Structure 1
Amino acid sequence: MIRTIGPKVDLAGLIADAIEEGREVHVVEATETKQGTLEAFAEALDFPGWFGHNLDALADCLDHLAEHATQPWELIVDHVAALRAADDPAYTGLHLVLADLTLRHPSIHVTLLAR
């Protein structure tokens, strides 16, 4: 499942709800650039050194994490509005990667915070 929530969201409440529902939670802070956002994913999710810092590599790493997950998880990507405003093609590419992830792994929930 992928969903987008507007700017007036309580992040702490969102995290608490996901934990209460039995999901492990990971929060990624998007930036205004594709490169910065990819680096944020790598840091937040502890990607391996071979991560290629492109959308294909992001898809590969997320797929690997999802395949080896021991429980459902929630991926919260905060501040995606900044990326969308600065680089809409990068935002669209990221959205496609995340939507594909949720289709392949239904136990993964993705929430995009548009602020």
Structure 2
Amino acid sequence: MMRHLGDRVDLDGLVADAVEEGREVQVIPARSTKAEALAAFSETLNFPEWFGMNLDALADCLDTFARESEGQGEWELVWDGVAALRRDDPRTFAGIERILDDLQREHPHVHVTVIER
């Protein structure tokens, strides 16, 4: 189950705890528009050039990333600062959240945390 945390979370402490528990951690800033949010995923996770900057491509790239990391230990994806995207583009927020929830359910070594600030 995807974990949702409030705006008072200590991001550095969250990352340190995950690393101490043996997880690789990637922090993705949410941004406030669909294009910015998708670009943040692409830049942070170093998606391939063919990344289509749409939700289907995001799902495909995250699934590929998760499959390629199987057997390499646990992975924590932290989507930080979702409040602006949720407010300004609730449809994109819901789509990305659905993709992240599916990713975590399909890949048990992936943990997803959403920080709502």
TM-score by length of 1: 0.98
Secondary structure in 1 matching 2:22: coil
Within the alignment, does 1:41 sit opposite 2:38 as a pair?
no
2:21 equivalent in structure 1: 21
* 2:107 equivalent to 1:105: yes
Identity %: 54
How many equivalent pairs are there? Answer: 115
Name stretches of at least 5 consecutive residues in structure 1 with no aligned partner: none
- Deviation at residue 2 of structure 1 after TM alignment: 1.1
Residues 3-33 of structure 1: CA deviation (Å, up to 9, x unaligned): 1100000000000010011100001111110
Deviations 1:73-92 (A, max 9, x none): 00001111110011111100
> How much is the aligned-residue C-alpha RMSD, in angstroms?
0.7
Unaligned runs of 5+ in 2: none
Read off the aligned partner of 1:108 and give its amino acid letter: V
Give 1:80-95 correspondences, 5 Å limit: 80-95=82-97
Question: Per the alignment, in what secondary structure is the counterpart of residue 112 of structure 1?
Answer: strand
Q: Which runs of 4+ in 1 moved over 6 A?
A: none
Counterpart Cα distance in 2 of 1:21 and 1:86:
35
Deviation at residue 71 of structure 1 after TM alignment: 1.6
